[in-house]
Amino acid sequence: MTPLEPLKHMLQERLPQLELREEEPMERHTTFRVGGPVPLMALPKEEAELQTILRCCQEAGTAPFFLGKGSNLLVADEGAEVFVVKLTGALGRLEAAGETALYVGAGVTLAQAASFAASHGWTGLEFAHGIPGTLGGGVFMNAGAYDGALSQVIQWVDCLDETGQPRRLEGDALELGYRRSVFVRLPWLITGARISLKKGEEGEIRGKMADLAQRRRSKQPLEYPSAGSTFKRPEGHFAGALIQECGLKGAQVGGAQVSEKHAGFVVNRGGATCRDILALIQMVRETVKKGTGVVLEPEVRLLGCSLDPLE
């Protein structure tokens, strides 16, 4: 019997309609398009299912891994021995929640939320339109781009604790900082958030979104699978500039490459494995530290794999 077998049977008994997949390849669920299988994945469609899933996990002594669009995730070629709960089929609530506010479920993409806000003439979320992830993942890492971040517009966040009990966090309790939130250390499931914006003009808002989209297309390697910016921005520096300064633009390991368009991105040029990507990230970190003294920290989350510590 596998370690997750008792949990599987518990879920099948209590949630007979829940979609469960066994030995599900994670390459189907990450924007890097790499990753081996996980033994069990649940694809809930209702928040009530999530509450039961969390209670079952607690009873079974299993810590779930919550997955959105997998846009900031690198999974080992061998997969990972975890129970994955994929949220993009659930938590799809998206509605007005005040004169200039909206409620966004964790499974809603940031692009959908930004477009919804624009259609109401609400400004402040334009920066998020091109971020390839969900609201849940965005809150988890306080996603941001072009001088904007979710911390600037979030009023409060709804979540479920490890027992499935609903909670609401706001203000300092969210611990929102650069690419971090309280949920990095707290094993609670984000279910949605109230976003507070300002009145604007739809044409101007969509014009700004189009301008940012054009800037992304011209500067970022959107034509290849990746996990977005590979490294966090080091204080006082830009990761891409440091990598380029060290002559690593275009460097390649197997099918993984430091983008020739933007050195801050590691991309899958075709057939890359997790090992290729990890080896390239490691080489970049070592070379940049040796050449500049700056330690680059990965922004991408690692599942079932790890980087060697820098000497």
pLDDT in tens, 152-172: 999 999 999 999 999 999 999
**Residues marked as catalytic:** 179, 229, 299
The model's pLDDT over 201-235, given as tens digits with 9 standing for 90+, comes to 999 999 999 999 999 899 999 999 999 999 999 99
Question: What pLDDT band is residue 2 in, cutting at 50, 70 and 90?
Answer: confident
Q: How many angstroms separate the CA atoms of 133 and 136, rounded?
A: 8
Instruction: List helix spans (H) across the chain.
Output: 5-14, 47-60, 110-119, 135-140, 202-219, 239-245, 274-292
d(CA 289, CA 6): 46
Q: 273-288 burial, b for 16+ CB within 10 Å, e for fewer?
A: bbbbbbbbbeebbebb
Residue 56 CB-density burial (10 A; 0-12 exposed, 13-18 middle, 19+ buried): buried
- Across all residues in the chain, what is the average pLDDT? 94
Residue 18: Cβ-neighbour burial (10 angstroms; 0-12, 13-18, 19+): middle
pTM: 0.91
What pLDDT shows up at residue 1? 63
Between CA 179 and CA 56 the distance in angstroms is 30
Q: Burial, 62: exposed, middle or buried (Cβ in 10 Å; 0-12, 13-18, 19+)? A: middle
Percentage with pLDDT > 70 across the chain: 100
Split at pLDDT 50, 70, 90, the class of 88 is confident
DSSP helix/strand/coil, 201: coil
Handedness of CA 309, 241, 269, 111 (dihedral sign): positive
Tokens 């790890």, residue? 306
Task: Return the amino acid letter for 123.
Answer: T
Distance separating alpha carbons of residues 298 and 180, to the nearest angstrom: 13
Kindly report the length of the chain.
311
Residue range 89-94: average pLDDT?
88
